[in-house]
């Protein structure tokens, strides 16, 4: 893997790890929440888990891609990681009280 690809993969992996940590924080918060808030937060967590799985799948495709397919898959992986990160931040801000 050339240097540009390696740098991008490290960046996307780091973004995924940060999102995973934030999701775990939200799960802990859900356990401590009142029933009403807990239902909303659990629903949001299910959506985040789905986005996390999608981003992970896109990263795996990118990691296993041939050189010719790499550029085609790159934007999908970047988009999936960005969407996950943005969604986690939005959820965290909604339930930060």
Q: What is the pLDDT of residues 21-32, one digit of tens each?
A: 999 999 988 888
Distance CA 64, CA 57 (A): 11
Distance CA 75, CA 62 (A): 10
Tell me what the pLDDT averaged over the chain comes to: 90
Average pLDDT over residues 24-46: 87
**Residue 74 structural domain:** 52-97
pLDDT of residue 76: 93
Within a domain: 83: yes
Within a domain: 17: no
Within a domain: 94: yes
Within a domain: 3: no
Number of domains making up the chain: 1
pLDDT confidence of 95, banded at 50, 70, 90?
confident
Within a domain: 24: no
Taking a C-beta distance cutoff of 8 angstroms, is the pair 47, 83 a contact?
no
């Amino acid at each position: 893997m050339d240097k540009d690809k390696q740098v991008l993969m490290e960046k996307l992996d780091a973004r995924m790890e940060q999102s995973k940590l934030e999701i775990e924080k939200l799960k802990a918060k859900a356990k401590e929440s009142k029933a009403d808030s807990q239902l909303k937060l659990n629903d949001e967590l299910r959506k985040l888990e789905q986005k996390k799985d999608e981003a992970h799948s896109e990263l795996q495709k990118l990691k296993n891609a041939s050189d010719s397919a790499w550029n085609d898959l790159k934007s999908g992986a970047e988009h999936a990681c960005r969407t996950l990160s943005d969604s986690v931040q939005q959820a965290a801000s909604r339930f930060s009280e």
